[in-house]
Structure 1
Amino acid sequence: MQCFIFYQDYFLFYLSLANKKTHRLWLNPFMLCFVLIIIAGVAVHLHTVTTFEVPDLWRQNIVANCGRLLKSNQEEFFKDYTLDPESANFEKFYLGAGMLGVYVGAIIDQRVFKTHLYTEWNDTSIWKSAARYILMTILNVPLLVPLLLIDKKRAPYWVTIFGRQMMTPFMSMFFIFGLQRWISIKLGLANTEHKAITHYELLKYMNDGDMREIDIQKEEAKAIG
């Protein structure tokens, strides 16, 4: 819902990445909120693991539903961190690293390649679109290798967190938002006929030509472009 409420704020911020000073890319309200959420999540986790005890009822349910996996050594079975609901939840928490991958990718897309100005880059024929989709999927697959190489049942806990749960979504999202458009253009798999001249034109394009709301913040848009 917040994407609808803050859509224009998000988009103005997105367009500002190309012209922001380098330090402002990291010192801004959006990054501050992201970092605070990460810190709060880690703090809650560290506090919980020192005070949390797996409920007996939960253990009983595990035994009842997964008894065939227990074999003869229940103690070793319950030492597996994957059976700790708090640790399992914390692993999913770090999937948010994908958001950071989107952000860094957008910075590269705008400041290095400047391909964000090709507003209709993906408006291509069905055959060219299919070729682009297949190629990007193939190129993205190697970034998912940590999911195969790091066995979360055997690897150290923090190796799983950083190597599997953080780097995989980060690199995948970075590729999609930072490299995909540039590679497509270089290989002739994108539409490069239309290129926006200013960020204000980008705003108009993304808002389907309706500038009534955006004109209210015209000065902000001009400052960006």
Structure 2
Amino acid sequence: MIRTSRRQFLGLSALAPLAATAACTQTPPPESAAPPITLAPPRSQSPLRAGTMPFGPEPRFPPFEEMYATKRDGGFTIPAIPYERVPERYLRQVVRDTTREAPGTVVVDTRQHFLFLALGNGNAIRYGVGLGRAGFEWSGRAEVGARRRWPRWFPPDEMIDREPELERYRASDKDGDNVWEGGMDPGITNPLGARALYIYQDGKDTLYRLHGNPQWTSIGQSVSSGCVRLMNQDVIDLYSRVPEGTPIVVR
């Protein structure tokens, strides 16, 4: 069971202006953030899909059946995504960049349920996402303050109050020694999935995340408690391209 100091544990009172009425987690950030990663295309190279026009350098993705196949990662087996049942617009692909943001910026388009990673030279990688349901939407500018592979999930107290079945995952200071424990173990059923990018604003953890999720049917929907969720295969790809400090724009 993970334990963390009270100083590291950020309560809802620490929410920055970006946060609305709830967040998807209150897990503390990693004690040591991963080093920045140089933006680089995947190893597999293949032509752009039919009907698209090359416009500057871009990653060349393999066919969808390879991108969304069963994947072994971090000691876990990620199930294949039945990509034929996901609208093609939500599958990972290179598109013309219409964000008008600097290269390396992550842009979440809440209206269309897209996440863009601006690459420069007119390119962007587009991923389909699931978003917060009515009452939990948020928008603004922030940055990636921390990153974690196979994160532990600590549902916020407000979520537990709404969903009592989550009580067993509540963080608590059982011994009164300022050391906290609880949360859900990492794994395939963990709501944060295979990777999490922690959204910070003005140097503070907003408690919102860009993260993976096992429920691929939620992509293109507004069902989560405020966070931006991706299919696990997609969040692994995004994580490999996004270093700490990456700017995030949610529109």
What TM-score comes out, normalization by structure 1 length?
Answer: 0.25
Greater C-alpha radius of gyration: 1
In terms of fraction of residues, the more helix-rich structure is 1
Looking at secondary structure, tell me which structure has more strand per residue: 2
